[in-house]
Amino acid sequence: MLLVSSLTVMSGATIAPSLPQMAEVFSDIPNSEFLSKLILTIPALFVAISAPFAGRFIDKYGRLKLLYVAMIVYAIAGTSGYYLNDLYQLLVGRAVLGMTVGTIMTIGTALVGDYYEGDARQKMIGTVAAFTAIGGVVFVGLGGFLADINWRAPFLVYFFALAILPFAFYSLKEPVIEREKRERINKPRHHMLLVIFATGFLMMLMFYMLPVQLPFFLKSLSIEKNIMSGLALAVAITFGAIASVLYPFTKNLLGYYWVYAVAFLLMGIGFIVVSQASDFNMILVGMSISGLGLGNMLPNSNLWVIELSIPERRGRNIGILTTAFFLGQFLSPILVQPFAARYTLATSFGISGILMVLFAIVFLIFGGIRRSATAN
């Protein structure tokens, strides 16, 4: 299950270091730089489209059969960038990859809710996030290394799905879902789910500036080697893994609201540091701080949705959360690009950082109100 969860982080970040070279290769196509960025993010759009349908399907028909099919298609679609020569065909291959990622991510998170309860579930959520982050370090670092050999080479990493398929088939068992008598979610629970979905969207909208925009920002600082952007992303993911391992302790200490507050604060400070960077060392400091924030954000969102969801709607709600995450990823370059073109990437990072600090203050206030109400 942990290996399967690592497939989701590969969907975009693995090929991020190839983006500048890809834009050069297809420079004869209008808007090639923008379209190359969409190669990274268009899977997110199709994750957003497919995840709710996957969630409904698995709630009705079960988890594992769909998972196995998704892993096979994932390997085929993911590696398509290695042998396709048309930029628009590459976009189609990435779209199909996105549909498989939406399915895999929804099923993987649902299985945590199915297999575990209480403290064990909380610990496993943090472990999955940490393992995903560690996989990201390996795959992003490998992507940066391979991109310096050839911009197509990172696409071969997607064959990893076929390598772990036999282990998934042997190890995972279809869970038995106990149906609850309640058929409707009460309004307070429903409203809180909407807050989590919106938070996940905003979080990814801003955080995904790093894999999309950072390679170009580094080149503006005369840092040319692709492996350097891969290294910077790997540092962020490493610190995210550390935060995810510590998440059960952090959540028990602070609660859901204040975990969000701390996470947004860390991400905001990290972005502000990146915006002021004049050398690679300062970039690494900013990436480290941002990674600590994201490492708390993801497990906090997943666990809260699982806890708020009745078993027969668990897959559906996780699918919606997955949609929120990846819709934010997809819209990130679309919304940031006009602003970055008019001003600078440094300004874009700085303003995003300030916005995240403001979000932190909002969650800090609501967390305090919630604690006061509980105490009374």
- CATH number of the domain that residue 268 is part of: 1.20.1250.20
Residue 360: per-residue pLDDT:
93
Q: How confident is the model at residue 374 (pLDDT cuts 50, 70, 90)?
A: low
Q: How confident is the model at residue 226 (pLDDT cuts 50, 70, 90)?
A: low
Q: Among 161, 14, 149, 152, which Cα is nearest to 73's?
A: 161
* Residue 187 predicted with pLDDT over 50: no
The answer as to whether 219 is a domain residue is yes
Read off the tokens for 358.
């403001």
Separation CA 317–CA 306 (nearest Å): 8
Could you tell me if 2 and 131 are in contact, meaning their C-beta atoms sit under 8 angstroms apart? Answer: yes
The answer as to whether 12 is a domain residue is yes
Read off the tokens for 145.
């290394």
Read off the tokens for 2.
């942990």
Separation CA 95–CA 148 (nearest Å): 25
Listed range (2-6, 7-11, 73-77, 202-206) with the worst mean pLDDT:
7-11
Separation CA 346–CA 340 (nearest Å): 8
Q: Among 279, 333, 324, which Cα is nearest to 305's?
A: 324
Listed range (185-199, 290-304, 321-335) with the worst mean pLDDT:
185-199
- Percentage of residues in the chain having pLDDT higher than 70: 91
The answer as to whether 179 is a domain residue is no
The answer as to whether 96 is a domain residue is yes
* Residue 185 predicted with pLDDT over 50: no
The answer as to whether 206 is a domain residue is yes
Rounded to an integer, the average pLDDT of 343-356 is: 86
* Residue 176 predicted with pLDDT over 80: no
* Residue 179 predicted with pLDDT over 60: no
Separation CA 219–CA 90 (nearest Å): 24
Could you tell me if 90 and 84 are in contact, meaning their C-beta atoms sit under 8 angstroms apart? Answer: yes
Read off the tokens for 341.
């073109």
Residue 199: per-residue pLDDT:
92
Separation CA 295–CA 120 (nearest Å): 18
* Residue 13 predicted with pLDDT over 80: no
Mean pLDDT of the chain: 83
Residue 358: per-residue pLDDT:
94
Listed range (101-115, 201-215, 237-251) with the worst mean pLDDT:
201-215
Residues recorded for the chain:
376
Separation CA 147–CA 138 (nearest Å): 14
Listed range (15-29, 97-111, 117-131, 255-269) with the worst mean pLDDT:
15-29
Residue 31: per-residue pLDDT:
72
Q: Rounded to 5 degrees, what angle do the CA atoms 31, 35, 40 make?
A: 155
Burial 224-257 (b: 16+ CB within 10 A, else e): eebbbbbbbbbbbbbbbbbbbbbbbebbeebbbb
DSSP structural state of residue 26: T
Separation CA 260–CA 278 (nearest Å): 30
Cβ burial, residue 82 (10 Å; 0-12/13-18/19+): middle
Listed range (14-23, 244-253, 337-346) with the worst mean pLDDT:
14-23
pTM of the shown model = 0.80
The count of domains in the chain is: 1
Could you tell me if 158 and 94 are in contact, meaning their C-beta atoms sit under 8 angstroms apart? Answer: no
Rounded to an integer, the average pLDDT of 311-322 is: 86
**Domain, as residue range, for 350:** 2-174+187-375
Q: Higher-confidence residue: 169 or 37?
A: 169
The answer as to whether 22 is a domain residue is yes
Cβ burial, residue 30 (10 Å; 0-12/13-18/19+): exposed
Given CA atoms 161, 164, 165, 168 in this order, what sign does their dihedral have?
Answer: negative
The answer as to whether 195 is a domain residue is yes
Separation CA 325–CA 312 (nearest Å): 22
Q: Rounded to 5 degrees, what angle do the CA atoms 355, 356, 359 make?
A: 95
Read off the tokens for 253.
């200490």
Rounded to an integer, the average pLDDT of 36-62 is: 83
Cβ burial, residue 175 (10 Å; 0-12/13-18/19+): middle
Among the ranges 223-232, 261-270, 306-315, which has the highest mean pLDDT value? Answer: 261-270
The answer as to whether 181 is a domain residue is no
Listed range (144-148, 259-263, 325-329) with the worst mean pLDDT:
144-148
Residue 309: per-residue pLDDT:
84
